[in-house]
């Protein structure tokens, strides 16, 4: 009889953790997920997709090695998806040391626990296009040299290199997905896409009057989160561990995103958007554009499954429905 596979997802309460859980449950996996104890439970995404009761939740903080080892012992996983991180670039400027600890050094803690306790585990690390940051070359792929522009990018680069180092030094099945921005109705409200779709919906319903934003000229290569989470799984099914860039291959300015999101609701963004200097970063990444040809060829991945316009429509409609049903008081 075929053994049921089990997976441990760190950061299961986040956007990607939730979509990946759903995907793996549908594949028949037993899914374990780590969450950190905070004053108010943060399971709204898992509840929103109706999967909270199908997952075994394990308390664990990335800063606490013992809790990482315990999570490994309880779950005894075939695969680990390391998605937990301080993931907000802006916050990494105000909390650089915490970001380095959580987003960077914790990956080494986890790899050490794997090496010592269960080196046969397949390990996925959530790398990011922010590691390219200031690179000026047009389209970025697995061979492009890195140039991070934020404490977040630097922390992720440490995590990326230490994953590669453990693969080469200890023969671990450890790999990184270099994912470009991916969004969804489960995106945190502090990220620009969800901030925009949420505000557009509120304005349409008369629950808000304006939207304050920073740099509208920044360009990002945006995709749809569920499409990207599938790649994490595909990378761990390969014969040998390799790193992959996952990106849509087109980029747009924040201005284009806001214009289209407001237009979905019959609104002109220029009537509502105010530029607010407090949302500018000490150093911003002006433009990111990814080249995912390797993933298309070797993982048979389709970067055009959900278009930019479809992504915006999905997010705007989800936010409109939320505020129509629950009013302005909701927090997600
Ligand atoms: P997210 O929604 O911000 O989720 C981050 C997760 O990490 C949450 O579950 C959070 O828990 C957890 N976490 C934070 N600090 C922790 C700590 N000290 N101990 C334990 N858990 C902690 O991020 P996401 O968008 O799903 O992204 C998933 C991963 O991919 C992250 O590593 C991110 O940096 C990376 N990434 C994201 C993108 C993107 O565009 N979304 C692109 C490239 C890479 P709480 O719920 O308790 O806060
Ligand atoms: O900013 C500009 C901002 O915070 C996008 C994370 O998932 O993707 C994400 O990082 C752009 C930046 O995402 C506002 O200056 C303008 O240029 O949505 P964001 P991010 O920084 O690209 C990467 C790949 C990750 O790995 C990260 O974890 O939008 N912008 N005005 C604004 N951004 C925000 N947040 N808020 C504004 O008001």
Domains of the chain and any CATH numbers: 6-182+223-246 (3.40.50.720), 189-221+250-283+307-326 (3.90.25.10)
152 noted as active-site residue = yes
Residue that has been written with the tokens 């779950």 in this structure:
75
**What's residue 331's pLDDT?**
56
Q: Which SS3 state, helix, strand or coil, does residue 56 take? A: strand
**What's residue 1's pLDDT?**
60
- Half-sphere exposure of residue 65, counting CA atoms within 13 Å on the CB side? 9
d(CA 319, ligand 2 centre) in Å: 19
Of 19, 35, 152, 224, catalytic: 152
Tokens of 80: 């680990």
Contacts of 22 (CB under 8 A, 6+ apart): 49, 51, 226
Residue 37 banded pLDDT, cuts 50, 70, 90: confident
User: ∠ CA 78-240-141 to the nearest 5 degrees?
Assistant: 115
H or E element in which residue 317 lies: helix 308-326
β strands within 171-315, DSSP E:
173-179, 182-183, 211-213, 219-220, 223-224, 244-246, 252-253, 273-275
**What's residue 39's pLDDT?**
85
Nearest CA to ligand 2 atom 38: 213
Nearest CA to ligand 2 atom 33: 192
**Rounded CA separation 297/302 (Å):** 9
228 noted as active-site residue = no
**What's residue 123's pLDDT?**
98
Q: Contact at 8 Å (CB) between 79 and 5?
A: yes
d(CA 103, ligand 1 centre) in Å: 9
Of 130, 166, 183, 228, catalytic: 130
Q: Which SS3 state, helix, strand or coil, does residue 113 take? A: helix
Helices 65-75/106-117 angle, 10° precision? 50
Residue 326 banded pLDDT, cuts 50, 70, 90: confident
Label residue 194 exposed, middle or buried (CB < 10 Å: 0-12, 13-18, 19+): buried
57-116 pLDDT per residue, tens: 999 999 999 999 999 999 999 999 999 999 999 999 999 999 999 999 999 999 999 999
Q: Contact at 8 Å (CB) between 225 and 182?
A: yes
- Expressed in angstroms, the distance from the first to the final Cα of the chain is 43
Nearest CA to ligand 2 atom 21: 89
d(CA 267, ligand 1 centre) in Å: 32
**Rounded CA separation 207/86 (Å):** 30
Nearest CA to ligand 2 atom 17: 218
Mean pLDDT of the 299-326 span:
95
215-274 pLDDT per residue, tens: 999 999 999 999 999 999 999 999 999 999 999 999 999 999 999 999 999 999 999 999
> Does residue 214 have a pLDDT over 80?
yes
Residue 40 banded pLDDT, cuts 50, 70, 90: confident
Residue 55 banded pLDDT, cuts 50, 70, 90: very high
- Half-sphere exposure of residue 317, counting CA atoms within 13 Å on the CB side? 6
Within 6 A (CB) of ligand 2 lie: 87, 89-90, 128-130, 180-181, 190-193, 195, 213-215, 218, 220, 254, 279, 281, 284-285
Mean pLDDT of the 43-63 span:
96
User: ∠ CA 79-84-90 to the nearest 5 degrees?
Assistant: 150
């Amino acid at each position: 009889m075929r053994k049921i596979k089990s997976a441990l997802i760190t950061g299961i309460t986040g956007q990607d953790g939730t979509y990946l859980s759903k995907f793996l449950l549908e594949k028949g996996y037993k899914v374990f997920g780590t969450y950190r104890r905070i004053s108010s439970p943060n399971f709204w995404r898992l509840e929103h997709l109706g999967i909270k009761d199908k997952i075994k939740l394990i308390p664990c903080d990335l800063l606490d090695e013992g809790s990482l080892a315990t999570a490994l012992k309880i779950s005894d996983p075939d695969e680990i998806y390391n998605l937990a991180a301080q993931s907000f670039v802006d916050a990494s400027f105000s909390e650089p040391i915490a970001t380095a600890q959580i987003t960077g050094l914790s990956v080494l803690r986890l790899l050490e626990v794997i090496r010592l306790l269960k080196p046969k585990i397949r390990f996925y690390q959530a790398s990011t296009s922010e590691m390219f940051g200031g690179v000026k070359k047009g389209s970025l792929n697995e061979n492009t040299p890195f140039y991070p522009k934020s404490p977040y990018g630097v922390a992720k680069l440490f995590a990326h290199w230490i994953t590669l180092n453990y693969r080469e030094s200890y023969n671990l099945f450890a790999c990184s997905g270099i994912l470009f921005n991916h969004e969804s109705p489960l995106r945190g409200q502090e990220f620009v896409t969800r901030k925009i779709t949420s505000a557009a919906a509120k304005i349409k319903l008369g629950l808000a009057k304006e939207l304050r934003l920073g740099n509208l000229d920044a360009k990002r290569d945006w995709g749809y989160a569920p499409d990207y989470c599938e790649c994490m799984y595909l990378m761990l099914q390969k014969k040998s561990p390799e790193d992959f860039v996952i990106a849509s291959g087109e980029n747009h300015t924040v201005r284009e995103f806001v214009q289209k999101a407001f237009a979905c609701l019959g609104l002109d963004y220029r009537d509502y958007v105010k530029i607010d200097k407090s949302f500018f970063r000490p150093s911003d990444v002006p433009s990111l554009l990814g080249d995912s040809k390797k993933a298309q060829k070797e993982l048979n991945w389709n970067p055009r499954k959900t278009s930019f316009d479809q992504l915006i429509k999905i997010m705007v409609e989800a936010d409109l429905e939320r505020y129509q049903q629950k009013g302005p008081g909701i927090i997600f």
